[in-house]
Amino acid sequence: MNKKSIKDIQIKDKLVIMRVDFNVPLDKKTGVITDDTRITAALPTIEYILKNNPKKLILMTHLGRPDGQVKEELRLDPVAKRLQDLIKSPVKKLNDCVGSKVKAAIDSSREQVILLENLRFHSEEEENDADFAKELASLADIYVNDAFGTAHRAHASTEGVAHYLPAVSGFLLDKEIEYVGRSLESPEKPLAVILGGSKVSDKIGVIENLLNKADTLVIGGGMAYTFLKSQGISIGNSKLEKDKIDLAKDTLEKAKKKNVKVVLPVDHLIVDRIDEPLKIETTKDASIPDGMIAVDIGPKTIELFKNALRDSKTICWNGPLGIFENDKYAAGTKAIGEFVARLGVKSIIGGGDTASAVAKFGLEKKMTHISTGGGASLEYMEGKVLPGIAALQDK
């Protein structure tokens, strides 16, 4: 799937409308932006467009969940202010996103960058209403989508609008298409997939898709115990999804048929209770004594996983291998993270908590790509078509 990018079209003297993801966290009491990562992430695309002399650049985003109503605390004024500081040129913030007043304000604006009001003040946005999408499209000559986090939703600003304008991707979307879309669709082999995190049920779609592509599947984290249980191994009080034991068993059989090598933990770090444990031990094999809880992979497993990953050309990692938020239970996730970083092969990281783990261990710059989509990343890794990407023009 080759989609047209902002680099493939003429911007000069054009009115450009761009969907960005400025859904930043706000302090509940003061309304101050507590983390502007999403704004800074969009700067390369914004700066590229501005350098190419558009007539104007109109930005649009949602913020929070106003559910189709105007909510004063979810207006975009603080976002406009922060953006203005970051790009060091004035940003005109409008009080609505469609209508004749908005059009007139864009026409007469002396500022080159305009930020429309929160799209979700209109219920038509999430309903992907065609008239609303047409109204958004009528504001500009070119549509750019750089909001990966909402690309899995067919909303007016992410999908509908693309039907009425030349529609291309921004740089953030380009990267996701290249590294999550293309690299996982036809990966450079061997492909090893590391899966962890809390639940089998969250990741089963990813497993199903990647079983058709992967050479090796390494399973750790909370979901490993349902897999171990399905093989008749005792797991004590470790995390278990009882209703997924059969599914885990089937998955392992499927993997065998497809010649995918599956690697499960062979030892664990176990505790008597997760908070303030009295006992912390390493098991000598895969089985976990009654009453004990596995919170991380053990040292033998770390070595086993490293050996399984060593010869791969692409590594896709989704889900921490232990309760890494607690430093005492972080060794497995850290060791495997550092190993992947050191291997220097193509490494694609997905999942909010996995991204936090990579950041916690200072490995962000050493990974090839860290997908920032949350739900969108997961669906993309499941091999699903994301409406926000599908709607863009083919190359």
Compute the least distance from the CB of residue 320 to ligand ADP, in Å.
5
Kindly tell me which residue out of 181, 298, 319, 337 binds ligand ADP, with binding defined by CB under 6 A: 319
Q: Is 332 in the site for ligand ADP (CB under 6 A)?
A: no
* CA 33, chain centre distance (Å): 21
Q: Which tokens hold the place of 315?
A: 């590594």
Please give the full DSSP string across 27-46, using - where no structure is assigned: -TTT--BS--HHHHHHHHHH
Compute the least distance from the CB of residue 198 to ligand ADP, in Å.
4
User: Which residue out of 352, 366, 383, 384 is catalytically annotated?
Assistant: 352
**How far is it, in rounded angstroms, from Cα 229 to Cα 324?**
22
**How far is it, in rounded angstroms, from Cα 161 to Cα 54?**
19
User: Which residue out of 4, 199, 249, 300 is catalytically annotated?
Assistant: 199
Kindly tell me which residue out of 38, 82, 239, 346 binds ligand ADP, with binding defined by CB under 6 A: 239
Q: Examine the residue annotation and report whether 199 is marked as an active-site residue of this protein.
A: yes
In sign, the C-alpha dihedral spanning 184, 186, 188, 194 is positive
Cβ closest to ligand ADP, residue 136 vs residue 302: 302
* 387 binding partner (options ligand ADP, Mg ion, none; Cβ < 5 to 8 Å by kind): none
Per-residue contact string for residues 185-224; x = within reach of ligand ADP by CB under 6 A: -----------xxx---x------------------xx--
Under the rule (CB under 5 A), what is the footprint of Mg ion? 352-353
Cβ closest to ligand ADP, residue 120 vs residue 239: 239
**How far is it, in rounded angstroms, from Cα 237 to Cα 235?**
6
Q: Which stretch binds ligand ADP (CB under 6 A): 43-51, 67-75, 178-186, 317-325?
A: 317-325
Residue whose C-alpha is closest to residue 151's, from 17, 21, 5, 16? 21
**How far is it, in rounded angstroms, from Cα 75 to Cα 26?**
11
Kindly tell me which residue out of 44, 277, 352, 383 binds ligand ADP, with binding defined by CB under 6 A: 352
Residue whose C-alpha is closest to residue 165's, from 202, 137, 188, 193? 137
Q: Say how many residues touch ligand ADP, by CB under 6 A.
A: 19
Please give the full DSSP string across 73-119, using - where no structure is assigned: GG-SHHHHHHHHHHHTS-EEEPS-SSSHHHHHHHHH-SSSEEE---G
Cβ closest to Mg ion, residue 78 vs residue 332: 332
Kindly tell me which residue out of 150, 354, 368, 372 binds ligand ADP, with binding defined by CB under 6 A: 354
In sign, the C-alpha dihedral spanning 293, 192, 150, 22 is positive
Q: Give the side-chain half-sphere CA count within 13 A for 80.
A: 20
**How far is it, in rounded angstroms, from Cα 161 to Cα 304?**
49
Q: Is 388 in the site for ligand ADP (CB under 6 A)?
A: no
Compute the least distance from the CB of residue 148 to ligand ADP, in Å.
15
**How far is it, in rounded angstroms, from Cα 332 to Cα 338?**
10
Compute the least distance from the CB of residue 18 to ligand ADP, in Å.
27
Compute the least distance from the CB of residue 352 to ligand ADP, in Å.
4
Q: Is 320 in the site for ligand ADP (CB under 6 A)?
A: yes
Cβ closest to ligand ADP, residue 128 vs residue 209: 209
Element (H, E) at 297: strand 293-297
Kindly tell me which residue out of 129, 141, 353, 382 binds ligand ADP, with binding defined by CB under 6 A: 353
Cβ contact 238:272 at 8 Å: no
Compute the least distance from the CB of residue 371 to Mg ion, in Å.
13
Q: Examine the residue annotation and report whether 298 is marked as an active-site residue of this protein.
A: no
Q: Is 161 in the site for ligand ADP (CB under 6 A)?
A: no
Residues 247/248/249/255 CA torsion (nearest 10 deg): 110
* 332 binding partner (options ligand ADP, Mg ion, none; Cβ < 5 to 8 Å by kind): none
Q: Which residues bind ligand ADP (CB under 6 A)?
A: 196-198, 202, 221-222, 239, 294-295, 318-320, 322-323, 325, 351-354
**Catalytic residue annotation:** 38, 199, 352, 375
